[in-house]
Amino acid sequence: MSIDSDALAKSVARLEGVDPVDTGLDAALELAVSETDQLFKVDGAGLMLLSEDGSLRYVAASDEPGRMLESLQEQFGEGPCVDAFLEDAPVLAEAMAADPRWPSVGPLAAGHGVHAVLGVPINLREGPVGTLNVYAARPHRWDQSDVAAIQAYTRVVASLLRAAVHAHLSGKAAGQLQQALDHRSLIEQAKGVIMERRGVDQQAAFELLRGHARATRRRLDEVARQTVAGARLPG
Kindly list the distances between the CA atom of residue 151 and the CA atoms of 37, 118, 220, in Å, as whole numbers in the listed order: 14, 11, 25
Residue-wise pLDDT for 202-226, tens only, equals: 878 888 887 888 788 777 778 888 9
Confidence (pLDDT) at 137: 96
Confidence (pLDDT) at 62: 92
Kindly list the distances between the CA atom of residue 132 and the CA atoms of 36, 49, 105, 167, 202, in Å, as whole numbers in the listed order: 9, 9, 18, 22, 23
Determine how many CB atoms are found less than 10 A away from the CB of residue 205: 23
Confidence (pLDDT) at 156: 85
Diameter of the chain measured on Cα atoms: 53
> E strand or H helix at 213, and its extent?
helix 202-215
- Spans of the chain, pLDDT less than 70: 1-4, 52-54, 126, 166-176, 235
Confidence (pLDDT) at 167: 62
Round the average pLDDT of the chain to a whole number and report it. 85
Confidence (pLDDT) at 139: 96
